[in-house]
Amino acid sequence: MIASLRGTVTHTTTGRLVVDVAGIGICVACLPQLALTAGHGEVVSLHTTLVVREDSLTVYGFGDADQRDAFEAVQMVSGVGPRTALALLATLSPDELRRAVASEDLPTLVKVPGIGRKGAQRLVLELKDRLGPAPDAGGQPVAEGWEDPVRSGLESLGWSRREADGAIASVAHLAAAGGEPDVPALLRAALRSLDRA
């Protein structure tokens, strides 16, 4: 599989680039936004996936790995092929797609060309566990105001600021809940993560 490529753009059309890689012109299907911003003669680095059909081999290219991974995940849904997956990502960013799937937001999904109500329901049903967590999904905001007390506690115990910040990052998922954060519990968890390091 071709996972990435880097080369010079020699031709652009809506939804396609021709990228010269070591003298070979590779036609890359892409999002219209990418085709419009990639100028002739510009060097591009693309995250790619190769779709094999009986009568074709098509390289799809994306500006980042998150878009490519979402493109691949969407095609696992029954009835969704590369063209519909590309239309989905031309309309919604990966994070917007995650939010729509997590909140079962069918009106947002049916705005995508080629996706009706039944298709949107299939996307919600089959993608729930494939796209990763949605930002701010399900009304579970990350609790705020706990980092500074935990950082101060760790620094007062002799840990450096860099070590404290690393420990805070490692326990941030524990603070993702409604209500007041349990600062002593988060401090203990941060200390345990530093002891394991």
Boundaries of every domain in the chain: 4-62, 66-138, 147-196
Query: What's residue 123's pLDDT?
Result: 93
The third-level CATH classification (topology) of the domain covering 4-62 is OB fold (Dihydrolipoamide Acetyltransferase, E2P) (2.40.50)
Q: Do domains 4-62 and 66-138 have the same CATH topology?
A: no
For strands 43-53 and 16-21, give the pairing.
unpaired
Query: What's residue 180's pLDDT?
Result: 65
pTM above threshold 0.75: no
pLDDT in tens, 135-163: 654 444 445 567 888 887 777 777 788 88
pLDDT in tens, 76-119: 998 899 999 999 999 999 999 999 998 899 999 998 888 999 99
CB 92 within 8 A of CB 108: yes
Domain range 66-138, CATH architecture: Orthogonal Bundle (1.10)
CB 149 within 8 A of CB 123: no
